[in-house]
Amino acid sequence: MNPSKPDNNTKPVKAISGLGDIREKISELDDQLLHLLGQRREFSRKVAKQKQFMDKPLRDQTRERELLESLVKKASQSGLDSHYVTRLFNTIIEDSIQFQQDYVQSINNPDLKNNVGKSLAVLGGKGAYSYLAAKKYFSNSDNTYLACGSFEKVLNSVQSGKVDYGVIPIENTTSGGITEVYDLLLESNLTIIGEEKYAVKHCLIGSKGSQLKNISCIAAHPEASRQCSKHLKKLVSANISLVQSTAHALELVAKQKTPTIAAIASEEAARLFGLEVLKSNITNQTENITRFLVLARSPIKVSLSVQCKTSIALSTGQKPGSLAEVLSLFRDADIPLSKLESRPIPNKPWEQMFYIDLEGNISDKNVENTLESLSRLCLFLRVLGSYPTEDISATQVSPQSLAKAKLDTLDRQNDRPAEKQPGDQSRLSQTLQKPRKSYHLTSREHKPEDTLIEVKGTKIGGDNFTVLAGPCAVESLSQIMSCAKHANETGVAILRGGCFKPRTSPYSFQGLGFEGLDFIQQAGEKYSMPIITEVMNTEDVKAIAKQADMLQIGARNMQNFSLLKAVGQINRPVMLKRGLMASLEELLNAAEYILTQGNMQVFLCERGIRTFETATRNTLDLSAVPLLKQMTHLPIIVDPSHAVGKRELVIPMAKAAKAVGAHGLMIEFHPNPEEALSDGPQALRYAQFAELMSDLYHS
């Protein structure tokens, strides 16, 4: 600092009026600084406008470093120290980038951030950390808030359209990932459109006039209490009462008659509730930051010029080294990962769902190509969202350059090699991109190796020959138990049984629905067999997937696109049956609908098509098997039962299917075909089925 020399002869009175003048001058300078900062922002906006048309990243750290170095050099001439100047300008640069990002994003998504009158769902109401984080994220908005009692309610409120957005915590620097939220996120169809990092500074809050020594009970959210555990023990000997949310804790304190209850909440929350901070900063760790996600029903467009993060969820099965393969894809593509979290998959013991945050934009070709390569390695892959990142790390001026800047008066701007821009990579990969056909992920070109489907140790695809068998429909507990026993004793790998039946006539037996599903689930458990059943309604997909190991899309629904999308969003293998009048290309396009949603565990089923021939129920197109094996990496099985419709013909056609290279069969049998509630004429008798199985595996 270099203040002007004080006048030693000035009298005190004069000194005061002199001080006033100086202060006035300082205020004038501050006004000018503000004005200049405003002008600087205006230029920032112009830069953003230029850069977005060029798809150039807004962030140019080479330029930032040069700017800082030159400022540091000039600063020493004005008597300002380099640390002060670097800190000051890092703040200005950060503001500028944030401003530019917001500007570009508001142009790309006019409906989003700066809009007024949006509705938001958050955990807990006014004063809860989710509420405060949401307020920070939607800073310019006049929004309404829906206070929810659980994370699930937050997600459901967005999903159902009750509110526009949800704000939900995902991880904390003290307590780590909030695992429940990961599971809920995957179960929902919501997408991440933003993130907010909120520095959680817990305080002990009491009502007006209350004193720390009188506090006998502390109301707190479990997470908040965990984060303050050490401090609380030292501070006061009060009982901790765990409550649903921080907002609830605050309400308890606000409503109390005798001031003996305190809450753990932020200073801002205390202000909102008219309460008092009894002790500030009671968090165990000084840096206690929670990362919140902003969720919406549809994705946003993130400009390539904006710093972006993409969150994905994937599962690879239990192949040794598969995670290493996944990670090396990102390394080879030079895509940094900022997070890797794993969660167990329900009903798949010891299998993990991995959650990855990568630094990159889904619209960037390099990221897109990497995700495409990734899809070859994954059983499940879903992009949870691509959104502007909150991390605007300060550009560092190295000690060497600081020292050099002091001495070196030469402008070295032109000598420095240009840093690699993300845009360069994307253009390179763009030129390598192959033209696509109507189906892509399904094609052999995309994935030359066979897809192998695995469920509870049973495999479909590759060199395996797998038989799925059981009755057409689940008719009663005793019927499906008897079928499961027979299936198990004859070497069947997967038990089938329809619970929701697609029947031509509305007067025919429609299936036992969820009651039937309970029965077949019990049968599968008793005989340790995975089960497969048909799903007909989009709304039932999740519930059926909770009980069945595999889902079947019937021939009549092969082109029910919303149903295909819904099964594409769950992590269960799907058998897609060829439609009654569908070409192979249409079948593969239908499978593509499932794969594009993230579910790669699809196998196909040839079950006969309609021709002019009426001697058989349908015409079994066996040439489809070798043809499909050329066209796709997905396994293909044959259902001779629905193809021919007559039990005597099922046996030779089943053998023929094996001969032409099918990966397996689906066959219907029944303990008493004459009494069957559906498809009796094509159901094999127990003895016939046992003989067929023996022939299939011993010839």
Least distance CB 472 / Mn ion (angstroms): 3
Residue among 296 and 472 whose Cβ is closer to Mn ion: 472
Is residue 202 a contact residue for ligand PEP (CB under 6 A)?
A: no
Site for Mn ion in 677-696 (CB under 5 A): 679
Question: Can you tell me whether residue 557 is helix, strand or coil?
Answer: helix
The catalytic residue among 273, 292, 354, 603 is 292
CB 309 within 8 A of CB 195: yes
Q: Is 260 a catalytic residue?
A: no
Q: Distance between terminal CA atoms of the chain? A: 94
For residue 547, count CB atoms less than 10 angstroms from its CB and return exposed for 0-12, middle for 13-18, buried for 19 or more.
Answer: middle
Out of 86, 174, 283, 290, the active site residue is: 290
Give the Cα separation of 579 and 587 in Å (integer). 7
Q: How many residues bind Mn ion (CB under 5 A)?
A: 2
Query: Per CB under 6 A, does 502 bind ligand PEP?
Result: yes
Residue with Cβ nearer Mn ion (364 or 679): 679
**Among Mn ion, ligand PEP, none, what binds residue 462 when CB lies within 5 to 8 Å by partner kind?**
none
- Find which of ligand PEP, Mn ion, none residue 633 binds, CB within 5 to 8 Å per kind: none
Q: To the nearest whole angstrom, how small is the minimum distance from the Cβ of residue 489 to ligand PEP?
A: 22
DSSP 83: H
Nearest to 379 by CA among 321, 324, 317, 329: 317
User: Token pair for residue 464?
Assistant: 């395996």
Q: Which does 577 bind (CB under 5 to 8 A by kind): ligand PEP, Mn ion, none?
A: ligand PEP
472 binds Mn ion (CB under 5 A): yes
The one of ligand PEP, Mn ion, none whose footprint includes residue 125, by CB under 5 to 8 A per kind, is: none
Active site residue 89: no
Distances (CA, A) of 243 to 238, 246, 250: 15, 7, 10
With binding defined as CB under 6 A, does residue 468 bind ligand PEP?
Answer: no
Stretch that binds ligand PEP, among 18-26, 222-230, 437-445, 548-556 (CB under 6 A): 548-556
Tell me how many degrees the CA angle 130-338-61 measures, rounded to the nearest 5: 100
Cβ neighbors of 398 (< 8 A, separation 6 or more) are: none
Distances from the Cα of 122 to the Cα of 153, 165, 269, angstroms: 9, 9, 15
Q: Across-strand partners of 357? A: 311, 339
**CA separation for the pair 628, 407 (Å, rounded):** 71
619-634 in b/e burial notation, b at 16+ Cβ within 10 A?
bbbbebbeebbebbbb
Options 51-59, 74-82, 286-294, 465-473: segment touching Mn ion (CB under 5 A): 465-473
Site string for ligand PEP, 516-545 (x = CB under 6 A): ------------------x-----------
Out of 221, 382, 577, 633, the only residue in the binding site for ligand PEP (CB under 6 A) is: 577
- Residue 283 structure tokens: 């968090």
Please tell me the count of residues contacting ligand PEP according to CB under 6 A: 10
Tell me the C-alpha distance between 188 and 196, whole Å: 20
User: According to CB under 6 A, which one of 59, 365, 446, 642 is a site residue for ligand PEP?
Assistant: 642
Sequence-ordered strand ranges (E) for 440-586: 453-455, 458-460, 466-470, 494-496, 531-534, 550-553, 574-577
Question: Which helix H or strand E contains 278, and what residues bound it?
Answer: strand 276-279
Residue 568 — φ and ψ, nearest 5°? -70, -20
Q: How far is the CB of 580 from ligand PEP (least distance, A)?
A: 8
Is the CB of 295 or the CB of 535 nearer to ligand PEP? 535
If one asks whether residue 59 binds ligand PEP (CB under 6 A), the answer comes out as no
Closest CB 61 distance from ligand PEP, rounded Å: 58
x/- letters, 293..312, toward Mn ion (CB under 5 A) = --------------------
Q: Does 472 bind ligand PEP (CB under 6 A)?
A: yes
CB of 486 to ligand PEP, least distance (A): 18
Helix, strand, coil abundance in the chain, percent, nearest 5: 40, 20, 35
555 binding ligand PEP? (CB under 6 A) = yes
Return the residue of 127, 461, 498, 635 that touches ligand PEP, per CB under 6 A: 498
Stretch that binds ligand PEP, among 111-119, 254-262, 364-372, 552-560 (CB under 6 A): 552-560
Scanning 99-107, 507-515, 551-559, 561-569 for contacts with ligand PEP by CB under 6 A, the matching segment is 551-559
In the bound state with ligand PEP, the residue whose beta carbon lies nearer, of 73 and 607, is 607
To the nearest 10°, the Cα dihedral for 499, 505, 507, 508? Answer: -40
Calculate Rg over the CA atoms of the chain.
Answer: 33
CB closer to ligand PEP out of 358 and 604: 604
CB-nearest residue to ligand PEP: 554
Identify each DSSP E strand in 471-610 by its residue range: 494-496, 531-534, 550-553, 574-577, 602-606
Q: Which is nearer to ligand PEP, 185 or 468 (CB)?
A: 468
Rounded least distance, CB 437 to ligand PEP, Å: 26
Nearer to ligand PEP, 129 or 500 (CB): 500
Cα 150 to Cα 226: distance, rounded to the nearest angstrom: 19
Q: How far apart are CA 687 and CA 693, in angstroms?
A: 10
Residue 683 CB, shortest distance to Mn ion, in Å, is 8
Token pair 């670097």 in the structure block, residue: 86
* DSSP helix/strand/coil, 284: coil
Distance in Å, CB of 349 to Mn ion, minimum: 32
Residue where the block lists tokens 């003989």: 691
Query: Of the candidates 572, 607, 617, 658, which one interacts with ligand PEP according to CB under 6 A?
Result: 607
Give the residue, chosen from 471, 554, 635, 640, that forms a contact with ligand PEP under the rule CB under 6 A. 554
Q: How far is the CB of 572 from ligand PEP (least distance, A)?
A: 17
Residue 534 touches which of Mn ion, ligand PEP, none (Cβ within 5-8 Å per kind): ligand PEP
Which range of residues in 212-220, 329-337, 538-546, 549-557 is near ligand PEP by CB under 6 A? 549-557
Residue 35's contacts (CB-CB under 8 Å, 6 or more residues apart) are none
Shortest Å, Cβ 640 to ligand PEP: 11
Residue 670 interacts with ligand PEP (CB under 6 A): yes or no: no
* SS3 category, 32: helix
CB of 552 to ligand PEP, least distance (A): 6
Closest separation in Å from C-beta 579 to ligand PEP: 9
639 binds Mn ion (CB under 5 A): no
**Structure tokens that stand for 233 in this block:** 């023990």
Decide whether 169 or 511 has the Cβ nearer to ligand PEP: 511
Q: Is 343 exposed, middle or buried (0-12, 13-18, 19+ CB in 10 A)?
A: middle
How many Å apart are CA 92 and CA 39, to the nearest integer? 12
Q: Which stretch binds Mn ion (CB under 5 A): 49-57, 280-288, 447-455, 466-474?
A: 466-474
Residues assigned a catalytic role: 290, 292
Q: Which residues bind Mn ion (CB under 5 A)?
A: 472, 679
Instruction: Give contact residues for ligand PEP (rule: CB under 6 A).
Output: 472, 498, 502, 534, 554-556, 577, 607, 642
